[in-house]
Amino acid sequence: MSQAIEKKVIGYVKKAQNASKQMVLVSMSVKNAVLKKMARALLANKAYLLRENKKDLKAAASQNYPSALVDRLVLNDKRIAGMSECLLDTAKIKDPVGTVIKKFKNADDLNIEKVRTPIGVVGIIYESRPNVTSDCIGLCLKSGNAVVLKGGKEAIYSNKAIFKICQDVLKKSKIPVDAIQLIDSTDRAATSTLLKQDNYVDVIVPRGGEGLINYVVGHSRIPVIKHAAGICHTYVSNKADLKKAKDICINAKIQRPGVCNAMETLLVHKAVAKKFLPSVCDVLIDAGVELRGDQKTRAIIKGVKPAKASDWDTEYLDMILSIKVVENTNEAIAHINDHGSAHSDAIVTKDKKEGDLFLSAVHSACVYVNASTRFTDGYAFGFGAEVGISTDKLHARGPMALEELTTYKYAVRGVGQIRK
């Protein structure tokens, strides 16, 4: 490992830790004002962002990246406006820091409050999407944390440009400029070094493909909050409104196939398969989706490729969909719990009892009745943004936003009590 890279990364995390000690004292009004200025600065520097993004897109073209990955890299007027809006929305949300979760008196008449407090230093390791840079800066600052960002080489120029704009705003603010750090090395040694800095970094959130997440989990000395994969399902019941089911399935698969909340497997009840599948598959095929199905699906839709056992456990992040015809709702639930990644799964049904069963029995972070899995997103949930989607069961599940970037402490006030 390069000693220069190691020294540089350690310098970043030390600065972030020092800044985090000051962040706990920054007022909500100061944080909100800074986020609003960052939002305006992104729009004011749109030409610069587009110019730097073109460098990443040129590199992607030379590497023949798949279209779904290129889509995640692209910045345009709409996406830059979305990044700006995300910061503004985060500024509008109530600051969780200092919120009293509960309060009580104990037998010794001590006044005890359970109070939300920043985690400290949040490390975020991510791939592809440049908007993660500004989203995570906004969320971490609003929740009183310092953040160390390590983006992927695919978006290095875009990430650096976004970071510079946000950093320039901090230089003229009452927030310590060192509260945001970007590790701009594309060397994997930089990631390896970051994962060893448990003396300075309090939590790591990886955002990316299965390979990145497995690497982070396998090498980190720091607690990790993650989602292993986004193997998301939609189950169309025999009690479904098939028109709604068609719209939901098409949206879940093709609106943005390269994201973690896109549908990867479609499950259909045998009683409606012959009626439903031809209608929805025609649209999917016309859109360029490659279909892979079980024998029952292939008997209904000609030209569908046979699904391998591995397909049921694969996050495609591409225009590929697995389809399975199931006997009943219990089989659909069992398939999801056996093959899913505990990310986002949906049922389409008009039967409330069946919907409630699905909500209770599916062990995923986000479970839907009659809606697309594409809504699993901090922005869509009204959280302003997210640092990631957690499929873990401890501390945070689903979209990780402001509250999930806090922990808590017990503030205990007495009048001289001593323990006997």
Q: What is the pLDDT of residues 302-343, one digit of tens each?
A: 999 999 999 999 999 899 999 999 999 999 999 999 999 999
Half-sphere exposure of 339 (CA within 13 A, CB side): 23
Q: How many residues does the chain have?
A: 420
The confidence score (pLDDT) of residue 184 equals 93
Percent residues over pLDDT 90 in the chain: 88
The tens digit of pLDDT for each residue in 1-55 reads 588 999 999 999 999 999 999 999 999 999 999 999 999 999 999 999 999 999 9
Q: How far is Cα 415 from Cα 111, in angstroms, rounded to an integer? A: 10
Compute the distance between CA of residue 262 and CA of residue 255 in angstroms, rounded to an integer: 8
pLDDT in tens, 46-55: 999 999 999 9
pTM of the model: 0.88
**What is the per-residue pLDDT across 240-291, written as a single tens digit (0 to 9) for each?**
999 999 999 999 999 999 889 999 999 999 999 999 999 999 999 999 999 9
What does the pLDDT look like over 343-369, one tens digit per residue? 999 999 999 999 999 999 999 999 999
Q: What is the per-residue pLDDT across 378-399, written as a single tens digit (0 to 9) for each?
A: 888 988 788 889 999 888 999 9
Of 120, 42, 39, 69, the C-alpha closest to 409 is 120
C-alpha dist (Å) from residue 396 to 378, 392, 408: 13, 7, 13
Domains for the chain: give ranges and CATH numbers.
3-226+392-413 (3.40.605.10), 232-375 (3.40.309.10)
- Residue-level pLDDT at 417: 96
> For residue 139, which of 318, 385, 314 has the smallest C-alpha distance?
385
Torsion sign across C-alpha atoms 44, 47, 48, 52: positive
Give residue 258's pLDDT: 84
Evaluate whether 177 touches 184 at the Cβ level (below 8 Å): no
Provide mean pLDDT across the span 56-71: 90
- Among candidates 272, 237, 232, 278, which has minimal Cα distance to 251? 232
Closest listed residue to residue 235, CA positions, set 276, 273, 269, 274? 269
- Residue 258 CB coordination number (10 Å): 19
Q: How far is the C-alpha of 27 from the C-alpha of 171, rounded, in Å?
A: 17
At residue 273, the pLDDT reads 98
Please report the DSSP string for 27-69 in residue order: -HHHHHHHHHHHHHHHHHTHHHHHHHHHHHHHHHHHTT--HHH
What is the H or E stretch that residue 253 is in?
Answer: helix 242-254
Nearest to 260 by CA among 349, 128, 81, 74: 128
Tell me the C-alpha distance between 45 and 76, whole Å: 12
56 is written with which tokens?
A: 């990443």
